[in-house]
Amino acid sequence: MKVLVALKRVADPDNANKVKIPADGSKIDTTGLEWKPNPFDEYALETALRLTENGKTPKVRAGEVVVVTFGPPETETTLRSALATGADRAIRVNATDEQLDGMTVALGLKKLVETEQPDLVLVGKQAVDGDTNQVAQLLAELLDWPQATFAATIREEAGGLVVGREVDDGVLSVRLKFPAVVSVDLRIVAPRSVFSLHTDPAHKYNEGVRFAPLPAIMQARKKPLETKQLADVAPGARAKVTYVSFEAPPKRKAGVKIADVDALLDKLKNEAKAL
């Protein structure tokens, strides 16, 4: 199986409350926040690796994983660490962050899919900076491929996948035939969420994503990383959603600490009138 994984780097999500908005509301300022891979994209990469290996002998590859990012030169760090983690090849589409919106990324991915011809495109369910949750769906429509968003489980079969999608009232299973687009949710990296044809179904993975061993980080420098230009893969793409201004969320004022249960009930009943 050949898998194309889209990776985005985002401003450190665990410190998202440190973003600043200047008084004129002209932008969201993330200066001072470290760049981190979008967590869902790390999960997408882990999923792709699980699908293209035998879990018992993960060093021997049983398929190909190509990682791609759209961004400025420094996003190559994200790709290098994905290569160190186990991806086989990388592509960076050179673009500034301002040039990129979901549709531009989807159009670019479509072009890459046409040359790379993967069986499966795996993306995160949402990039946690813009929080828009759209690239998988846009790409699937542009390609006229089936989609399975919010994947919590994936079971490979001959020629396709059965995907358990996390929806509002439970888990919805769909059967897809390749080629297809899948976006992954949090629980896809549980020990028994991904079942490939190469791995013993009884195999139990570690919880979460794997980390690159030190020698792999050295070797990753030799793995192929290709650069393309946005104008070549998404010619004429133009954002259809434009931001007029930004605002900080309303601040909640710090509350009070309550001594015990009786005092809490009194406050809820008589002060907040919430009971």
Partner 1 sequence: MANVLVLAEISGGKVKKTTHSAVTFARKAAALLGGSYSILALGSDVSAVLGELAALGADKVLVAEAPTLEHYLAEHYAPVVAAAAGSFRVLVATASAFGKDLLPRVAARLDAGYAADVTELLSEGTSLRYKRPMFAGNAFGICRIESAVEVVSVRQSAFTAAEPTGSSSPVERLAVPAAGAGASRIEWVNLEQVKNERPELTEARVVVSGGRALKEQFYELLNPFADVLGAAIGASRAACDNGYCAPDLQVGQTGKVVAPALYFAVGISGAIQHLAGMKSSKIIVAINKDGDAPIFQVADYGLVGDLFKVLPELTTKLRALKDA
Ligand X SMILES: Cc1cc2nc3c(=O)[nH]c(=O)nc-3n(C[C@H](O)[C@H](O)[C@H](O)COP(=O)(O)OP(=O)(O)OC[C@H]3O[C@@H](n4cnc5c(N)ncnc54)[C@H](O)[C@@H]3O)c2cc1C
- Which residues 13-42 are close enough to bind ligand X by CB under 6 A? 39-40
Alpha helices in 117-213 (DSSP H): 135-143
Q: Are 49 and 66 in contact (CB under 8 A)?
A: no
The answer to the question of residue 102 lying near ligand X (CB under 6 A) is no
Least separation, in Å, of the C-beta of 76 and ligand AMP? Answer: 12
* Stretch 15-54: interaction string toward ligand AMP, x if CB under 6 A: -----------------------x-xx--x----------
CB 204 to ligand AMP: min, Å: 26
Query: How many angstroms separate the CA atoms of 10 and 28, rounded?
Result: 13
Question: What number of CA atoms fall less than 13 Å from residue 258's CA on the CB side?
Answer: 11
Binding of ligand X at residue 146 (CB under 6 A)? no
221: Cβ contacts below 8 Å, ≥ 6 apart: 80
Q: How far is the CB of 129 from ligand X (least distance, A)?
A: 12
Q: Which listed option, partner 1, ligand AMP, ligand X, none, makes contact with residue 182 (CB within 5 to 8 Å by class)? A: none
User: Restricting to residues 65-94, which ones interact with partner 1 according to CB under 8 A?
Assistant: none
CA distance 50 to 61: 10
Are 106 and 139 a contacting pair, CB within 8 Å?
yes
Does 111 bind partner 1 (CB under 8 A)? Our answer is no
